[in-house]
Copies of this chain bind each other. A is one copy, B any other.
Amino acid sequence: MQAIVLSVGTELLLGEITDTNAQYISARFRDTGIDVYKRITVGDNLTRLTAAFKEALGSSHIVIATGGLGPTDDDLTAQALSSALGRSLEFHEGAWQGMLPWFKRGGRVPAESDRKQAMVVQGGFPLPNRHGTAPGQAVLVGKGLAAILPGPPREMVPMFEEEVLPLVKEKTPGLVPLARLELKLAGITEAKIGETVRDLMECANPSLAPYAGALEVRLRIAARGPSPEEASAMVSRVEDEVRRRLGDFIYGTDSDTLESVCGKYLVKTGATLAVAESVTGGLVAHKITQVPGSSRYFRLGVVAYHPSVKASCLGVPEDAAAGNGGVNPRVARAMAEGVRAVAGTAIGLATTGFAGPGGGTPDEPVGTVHTGIAYEGGSDVDRQVFVGSRATVKEYGAQRALHVLWRYLRDLK
């Protein structure tokens, strides 16, 4: 069963907004066992939009369009679908009644132009919108269906999940979802991974594909089988083999992050954590506190941006902070030890470096990040030099600090 996704809006063609809807629908169809084989983006132009619908309806069972459902003259999606199908638009009293509470809530009287949003293609039916005014609509076409959904993701996503996916599943019994698993790796490059598992990457089913991110690589394993159980078993066999070869670098799966995995270790061991940041400017603390329940183990973050603060708040010796503008391994270590002492935690983690664009010395150029980690009876320092913008150095530096923390927690006995 094949699908085409149609994204509608001149703002997309102007590059004003990112099209997250098409990606969302693609991923959900992938999970469901439906192939999206083409995506089309067109502007708010009736002729082109109608042509795009005709093309999609002529080549695919399932056509999902997003955007262009509002009350203004350049909202043309329903009209284009009606032209492409050669069916008229009809005022739908139920759709209209569903919109009225939204006008009331917004404190305005519906205008004549608003009635346009309740026009439904003949033979189709409205899809209720629980998060905005404009309803969507769906039309069964032969063995498939066409659906048009609002553009704002907060309206589109629930409508897709609650209305469209159930319809699609009903129309296409026997779908075998793609089995998939993502392994998350840190501390190894995409190239090195490629060398290690090239033979597995050459197989089409199960497939293995790497996606490089910020100091981490996602390895996606996917399989289609005659049954969900067999597809899962195919994925598991590849997973086992990848873990055998690359296990030391795998920190988690799917939605795991370094900070969420560290959080699990910290909860399990009962250890507490404090962080002192210079170069990463609060980003390490921000990442750690994105994890629900992080207040159970995270006690204190100090962003010691001014040299005097490194001494006064963290007790970094002034002679250490003097060298290379406060960027050296001794400072990283002293910051980690200092914040651990101030907060009274089991672990102290610290970053210092130069994010740029200014600063840097011959020994410690822009992009340098030292990570210090202090714990009962010891401490370590890690040094990296990253290339990129200020934002990149901060992002990579924070990821590296979390990687240092993860390695320490993983290896705890």
Contact = CB atoms under 8 A, between A and B. Distances in A.
Interface of A: 7, 11-20, 22-30, 35-43, 45, 48, 52, 106, 191, 209, 211, 220, 222, 275, 277, 280-286, 288-290, 292-295, 298-306, 308-309, 313, 342-343, 355-358, 390-391, 394
Given A16-B211, A22-B41, A191-B106, A282 B293 contact: no
B38 A14 contact: no
Contacts of A283: 282, 286
Given A11-B209, A38-B42, A220 B16 contact: yes
B18 A20 contact: yes
A303 B305 contact: no
Given A25-B15, A38-B42, A305 B298 contact: yes
Contacts of A37: 13, 42-43, 45, 48
Contacts of A24: 15
Contacts of A43: 37
A360 B299 CA distance: 19
The binding surface of chain A is classed by DSSP as mixed
Given A17-B211, A282-B284, 12 more contacts: A18-B18, A37-B48, A38-B48, A38-B52, A39-B39, A281-B288, A285-B286, A290-B391, A292-B390, A299-B306, A300-B303, A313-B313
A11 B211 contact: yes
How many copies, total?
A: 2
B299 A301 contact: no
Contacts of A18: 18, 20, 23
Nearest to A279: B289
A55 to B, nearest CB: 9
Nearest to A39: B41
A292 B360 CA distance: 14
A299 B309 contact: yes
A290 B356 CA distance: 10
Contacts of A277: 282, 285, 301
A293 B358 contact: yes
Contacts of A36: 13-15
Contacts of A211: 11, 16-17
Contacts of A7: 39
A30 B14 contact: yes
Contacts of A29: 15
B285 A281 contact: yes
B12 A26 contact: yes
Q: Which of A11, A19, A27 has the most CB of B within 10 A?
A: A19
Contacts of A280: 286
B298 A285 contact: no
29 contacts: A11-B209, A11-B211, A12-B39, A13-B35, A15-B30, A16-B211, A18-B20, A18-B23, A19-B19, A19-B23, A37-B43, A38-B40, A39-B39, A277-B282, A277-B301, A281-B290, A282-B285, A283-B286, A285-B285, A286-B394, A292-B356, A298-B306, A299-B308, A300-B302, A300-B304, A301-B303, A302-B303, A303-B303, A313-B313
A300 B309 contact: yes
Contacts of A39: 7, 12-13, 39-41
A15 B11 contact: no
Contacts of A309: 299-300, 343
Nearest to A303: B301
A405 B358 CA distance: 25
A22 B295 CA distance: 40
